[in-house]
């Protein structure tokens, strides 16, 4: 949830799920456990701990041909498990549709290693935790036989973009839409890539 907020006060999960902070957290906890694995599954994550407390995390995965459908299948299962009213689904779909206006469509190029859900808790920032996690997740991509890594960042999240550039990523595309600005409060996304050699 923190990752989706980027440098803003709210993110896509706040808008899609609504409800309270606790109910959204419960929902995302279930997304991390549901089978078959979706991009948010806990097995895709690596976590940095400080004194036994989770302080930062990110995930990496080799996507299926249709990763969006993959995620919606998991959401449907979590909705059923938590007894969420099906009437919420059209609102969720609409929010994802708005987000998709500035995202890159499926299918993702063969050989891609997707990095997402990148976040560090505020009290643990500027300790280079994410630098270490990023090195680890890139190595995971190499071990999976992927050719390159890709990550999207919210435009104007300068700290995140600098992290990736310092790790050898380059901006390869940018999408700006009025829908993203209106619904989410950011102008769009930048796509960065790095070869995994």
Domains in the chain, CATH or no CATH each:
2-195 (3.40.630.30)
In this prediction, residue 102 has a pLDDT band, given cuts at 50, 70 and 90, of confident
pTM, entire model: 0.89
What pLDDT does residue 100 have?
Answer: 78
> Which residue would you say has higher pLDDT here, 84 or 53?
53
Q: What percent of the chain has pLDDT over 70?
A: 92
What pLDDT does residue 48 have?
Answer: 97
Phi, psi at residue 173, to the nearest 5°?
-165, 160
Cβ pair 192, 153 in contact under 8 A: yes
In this prediction, residue 89 has a pLDDT band, given cuts at 50, 70 and 90, of low
Cα separation of 180 and 176, whole Å?
7
pLDDT tens column, 116-140 = 999 999 999 999 999 999 999 999 9
Our CA angle for 12, 137, 117, nearest 5°, is 10
């Amino acid at each position: 949830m923190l990752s989706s907020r980027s440098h803003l006060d709210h993110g896509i999960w706040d808008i899609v799920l609504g409800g309270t902070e606790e109910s959204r957290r419960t929902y995302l906890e279930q997304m991390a456990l549901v089978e078959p694995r979706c991009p948010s599954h806990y097995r895709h994550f690596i976590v940095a701990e400080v004194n036994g407390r989770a302080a930062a995390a990110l995930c990496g995965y080799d996507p299926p041909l249709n990763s969006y459908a993959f995620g919606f299948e998991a959401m449907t299962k979590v909705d059923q498990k938590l007894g969420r009213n099906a009437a919420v689904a059209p609102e969720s779909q609409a929010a994802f549709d708005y987000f998709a206006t500035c995202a890159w469509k499926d299918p993702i190029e063969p050989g891609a290693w997707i990095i997402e859900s990148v976040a560090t808790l505020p009290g643990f920032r500027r300790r280079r935790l994410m630098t270490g996690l990023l090195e680890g997740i890139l190595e995971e991509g190499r071990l999976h036989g992927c050719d390159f890594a890709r990550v999207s960042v919210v435009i104007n999240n300068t700290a995140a973009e600098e992290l990736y550039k310092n790790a050898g990523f380059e901006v390869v595309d940018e999408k700006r839409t009025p829908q993203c600005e209106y619904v989410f409060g950011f102008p769009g996304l930048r796509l960065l890539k790095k070869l995994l050699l």
